[in-house]
A = this chain, B = another copy of it.
Amino acid sequence: MAVIGILGHGTVGSGVVEVLLKNGSGIEKKTGTVLTVKKIFDRKSFPDLPYRHLFTKDAGEVLDDPEIDIVVETMGGLEPAFSYTKRALESGKFVVTSNKELVAEYGPLLQKIAHQHHVEYFFEASVGGGIPIIRPLKQCLAANNIYEITGILNGTTNFILTEMCKNGKDFESALFDAQARGYAERDPSADICGFDAQRKIAILSSIAFGQKVLYTDINTEGISGITKEDMLSAEELGYVIKLVAHAARTEDGIYAMVSPIMLPLGHPLADVEDVFNAVLVKGDAIGDVMFYGKGAGKYPTASAVIGDIIEAANYQPNSSGNAIMPDEVSATVLDSDQFAHKFFLRLKLKDAKGFEKEIATCMQDAKVHIFKNPLLAGEAGVFTGARKESELPLIRDTLASLDNTAAVLNVFKVSE
């Protein structure tokens, strides 16, 4: 039997309690483990809940209760989550978290403290919501030299981009919709600026590559600059625009970024829609493997938290157990300027006649498309060959200065 204390009865914390109440006997049957929630810390009151007697407004009642074996931290944010987690680990309690900010910032330190006290810090729910990804990376794929991870790691932005793509909405109204449905917060910047995906790819790449990748080193771009015309132009060319988080291990170091990318239809991530997430992992033995599911939400995230609780309840020292958050910072997170991509530039033309000829004089490897969609009248798209990001300003200027060009409307990286 394991006795559980919960810190934070928000979306995820309440989901954990509800799933434990509903599926507790099934979990006991499958795993032989009885899981009991003894105390829930939250500043708010919940007088109408059937388990209202479990609540406390004093975190100490969870952290200092010697009967509690496992603390579930579903508060989010850095403080007081960090202090509470540290205190719980130092009292020899296991901690299970869904808090990606805290894991990305202090994961290695908290894991070290856990090990000093012969317990573990589990964080499967911090990436990909309910999708099993951290444990499979650690255990099932341990035979592999993993060299690339590419994912759609933020459900809110993927919902917004799907609404823009499928229903022709502009960014603002798709964001409004996401807020109305509770997918986006009132201040949506952590999602739409890419910071959430940045934390998650930092966690995944650290585990996969065995070197700490600082999230602050990851070049990150959000989705607020994407227009519905960008979506239409991508569609006409057989692409879809997604916010992609990517990390690769090369001979020179680690390269990581979060950025909107044009993915060709048929790419495994191109069909990932709405609030779904997916993570594509490349390893030398396994080839491509993909994990797909709901990347956020009350019950999917609770599912991942409870998976970790069961792991904690059955923990044995020296078992292959938990993924290791490496503490040593990677010597070289490479400057994204040094990586070559194909780029796509959407242009407003003064005159479509002669544009292809004019461009051939200055960019021989360019591929030009004059749009047919009447909503894109007078526009052209230009694909470059593989170019470094540092060359982009020059490319942009060159195209902007052509006689036929009225304006450069937008630029995207393109995936093969």
Contact = CB atoms under 8 A, between A and B. Distances in A.
B143 A210 contact: no
Interface residues of A, number: 62
Contacts of A318: 314, 316
Contact of A210 (B30, B268, B291, B302): B30
Interface string A78-118: 00000000000000000000000000000000000000000
Interface stretch (A281-289, A334-342, A403-411): A281-289
Contacts of A288: 292-294
Interface in A114-149: 124, 130-132, 135-136, 138-145
A289 B293 contact: yes
A289 B307 CA distance: 15
Which of A289, A302, A319 has the largest number of chain B CB atoms within 10 A? A289
How many chain copies does the complex carry? 2
A141 B303 contact: yes
B314 A285 contact: no
A354 interface: no
Nearest to A135: B140
A373 to B, nearest CB: 22
Interface in A328-382: none
Interface stretch (A19-27, A54-62, A196-204, A255-263): A19-27
A314 B310 contact: no
A37 interface: no
Nearest to A299: B285
A39 to B, nearest CB: 20
Given A268-B292, A315-B319, A304 B210 contact: no
Contact of A290 (B29, B136, B293): B293
A52 B290 CA distance: 36
Given A271-B266, A310-B320, A19 B299 contact: no
Interface string A294-314: 100101101111110011011
A400 interface: no
Nearest to A19: B285
Nearest to A24: B143
Interface of A: 15, 19-20, 22-23, 26-27, 29-31, 33, 124, 130-132, 135-136, 138-145, 210, 266, 268, 271, 283-294, 297, 299-300, 302-307, 310-311, 313-321, 324
